[in-house]
Structure 1
Amino acid sequence: MELKKLDYDQLAIVRPYFEVFNSEVSDINLTNLMMWRDKYQFYFIEIESFLFIVNIKGAHRYFSQPIGAYTDPKAVYKAVCVLKELCENEQKPLVIKKANEAFVTLLNSYDMTFELKSSIDEQDYIYDFEALKQLSGKKYHKKKNHINKFIRTYEDWRFKWYEASDLDSVDELLQVWLEVKKGNDMDPNLRFEYNGIMDVLKHRHYFDLKIGLIYVEGNIAGFIIGEVVNTSCLLVHIEKADISYEGIFSMLGYTLYNELDHLTFINREQDLGIEGLRKSKLSYHPVKFIQKFELWF
């Protein structure tokens, strides 16, 4: 099986597959894959008219669902059959991770046999864009109070779009974030996240990212990285802030959303089973969840 390493010099090959691939799953997003490619050892393989992302983990390999145009369901099914045969020839199981529900339904229509797994820890939280932009009504009363308090407390604040000259400020903020998290069980992941954020910012010209920053009295207080996907959904990749500024996280999302128009949903990704993160995400009242499935053949 001929695998190629996912890197920036391969973007011209992989990008066209993503441009015709409509999936709400945050993990199967090119920006996310590039951000985490070193941690998860991402490779790719082209089969038929589709691309498969491959995650190398020790002696194990995990594949994405086929990435490409799903206009011909039989072509999708055929690509999976070819990949399954390649895995069988190497005496290894075919395991597909982070698959969406439409893909599972498609395979079921061809009576394909596989074991299916899913976890609420992995599901993406989807919100109504206008609701989080306006924060009006009783259920958002506390959130709007956080915004108003931030504005009253920090009079000399401003939102700005990211520019190359902001890279050092972002780096300083991330270094503080790493120091605060020092000793955390997730230390290795945090370092990969830091490297991935800095890497994407340095290569941001490859992507159409919406990067907003908030400065207070000339000092960076936080930043948020989003991307419009499937024409109408804002996928929020990263939110990082100095928590000494009370209400900064509420302010980051609110200010970015109010700089954008003509969107329907916001995807704020999964909670990974982290109790505090789950509580925070639920407090913004998601309108639906995007399930992700693991398929063992």
Structure 2
Amino acid sequence: MGIELKKLTIMDSLYLEKYNNLRPIYISERQSINAIIWEEFYDTHYYCNDMYMMCVIKSRNRNCPMMPMCKIEDIKDVFMEIKSHWNQNLHEPLNMYLVDGVFLEILKTIPGFMDEFDIIDDRDSYDYMYDAEKLRTLSGKAYHKKKNHLNSFLKNYAGRYEYRSLSCADIEEIEAFHDTWLDNRDYEDKHGSMRMEENGIHRLFRNCGLIDCELGGVYIDNKLEAYSIGSYAPDIECAFIHIEKANINIPGLYNFINQQFLIHAFPEAKIVNREDDLGQEGLRKSKLSYQPIRLETKYHIYQKITGVKTAIPE
């Protein structure tokens, strides 16, 4: 059976909503906003039928599928269909990226899978999962420092700050703040992906009206100084925080936008996915400091075919 790929567009990415609900999936790649942000970086294409949807990314000039979205009971059949296409039609090894633990455990039950495939545990892609109520209240000893930073901000800027729910009508203001934030930000770029991420964020801004998301911002002296963009998956009661930027010269502002965005935009959320750290040491330290309840593990799998060099994720 042939698999014909199509270029992923903004409108196509919205198909993800339908397929992501076929089983509980907690990784950030399930959300359409994530696909939109990284479409240019990965040159993303896709394939879908009545059973599954699969995004395919480019790695070293080779097409490599990401984990297909399908029902749990269909995982084996879907995987074997994809494997057959890569091996028999494309005459290439199957390298599949960003596979979650549930999907992988089912693949391990396929006879011969463990002999045929190498499994790579990709720490830089782990998503950070949090208890939503803990982030709203910052209660408990583990959040003592965070609560102190928040209280210091509230005291120092009393009467000057305001949290506002934002909309697409505010995008020009958000984009202007974002560019200023970027100009004043130093960051490491382990995978050479940060500039592409910024291009993806601007793609979101340009297509705001097409995307189902929540936006919130903090104004100080009536000037936007922080903003956040997130989405919600009701099937798993999870808020996904895709973007969060704040003026780093205002102590405690990140703590405030983090808390207020959850309170106002996602009051019903039980858990929060704040995505991965891209292998950036500073970002990893920051995400760990918020006491994740778990890290959502992601794997890459590589088919071992003698004489054929497999693609290594960039």
Contact 2:238 2:271 in 1 (8 A): yes
Contact 1:48 1:79 in 2 (8 A): no
Aligned to 2:220: 216
Aligned to 2:308: none
Residue 263 of structure 1: how far off its partner (Å): 1.9
Aligned to 1:99: 99
Aligned to 1:267: 273
Matches within 5 A, 1:32-181: 32-46=34-48, 49-70=51-72, 73=73, 75-89=74-88, 90-111=90-111, 112=113, 113-155=116-158, 156-181=160-185
Residue 28 of structure 1: how far off its partner (Å): 3.1
SS at match of 2:129: strand
CA gap of 1:187–1:104, structure 2 versus 1, over 3 A, is closer
CA gap of 1:227–1:184, structure 2 versus 1, over 3 A, is same
CA gap of 1:27–1:15, structure 2 versus 1, over 3 A, is closer
Contact 1:123 1:292 in 2 (8 A): yes
Count of aligned residue pairs for this structure pair = 294
Q: Distance in 1 between matches of 2:106 and 2:46?
A: 22
Matches within 5 A, 1:249-260: 249-259=254-264, 260=266
Residue 57 of structure 1: how far off its partner (Å): 2.8
Contact 2:17 2:31 in 1 (8 A): no
Identity rate, percent: 27
Residue 47 of structure 1: how far off its partner (Å): 5.4
Residue 137 of structure 1: how far off its partner (Å): 2.0
Residue 135 of structure 1: how far off its partner (Å): 0.7
Contact 1:52 1:63 in 2 (8 A): yes
Unaligned runs of 5+ in 1: none
Q: Distance in 2 between matches of 1:62 and 1:129?
A: 34
Letter in 2 for 1:228: Y
Deviation digits for residues 155-191 of structure 1 (CA, Å, limit 9, x no counterpart): 3111111123321221111211232247965796343
Residue 274 of structure 1: how far off its partner (Å): 1.5
Aligned to 1:236: 241
Q: Distance in 2 between matches of 1:245 and 1:134?
A: 21
Unaligned runs of 5+ in 2: 304-314
- Kindly indicate whether residue 242 of structure 2 is the aligned counterpart of residue 199 of structure 1: no
- Kindly indicate whether residue 16 of structure 2 is the aligned counterpart of residue 17 of structure 1: no
Aligned to 1:279: 285
Residue 14 of structure 1: how far off its partner (Å): 4.8
CA gap of 1:134–1:219, structure 2 versus 1, over 3 A, is same
- Kindly indicate whether residue 224 of structure 2 is the aligned counterpart of residue 225 of structure 1: no
Contact 1:174 1:194 in 2 (8 A): no
Judge which range, 9-18 or 42-51, deviates more.
9-18
CA gap of 1:181–1:2, structure 2 versus 1, over 3 A, is same
CA gap of 1:20–1:8, structure 2 versus 1, over 3 A, is same
Residue 55 of structure 1: how far off its partner (Å): 0.2
Q: Distance in 1 between matches of 2:94 and 2:86?
A: 6
SS at match of 1:208: coil
Letter in 2 for 1:220: L
Residue 5 of structure 1: how far off its partner (Å): 0.5
Residue 31 of structure 1: how far off its partner (Å): 1.4
Structure 1 vs Structure 2 CA RMSD: 2.2
SS at match of 1:139: helix
Residue 17 of structure 1: how far off its partner (Å): 1.9
Letter in 1 for 2:225: A
Aligned to 1:29: 31
Aligned to 2:297: 291
Q: Distance in 2 between matches of 1:135 and 1:174?
A: 27
Contact 2:13 2:32 in 1 (8 A): no
Contact 1:47 1:82 in 2 (8 A): no
CA gap of 1:191–1:78, structure 2 versus 1, over 3 A, is same
Letter in 2 for 1:100: D
Deviation digits for residues 244-288 of structure 1 (CA, Å, limit 9, x no counterpart): 222111111111122232221111111222211111111111111
Residue 201 of structure 1: how far off its partner (Å): 3.2
SS at match of 2:30: coil
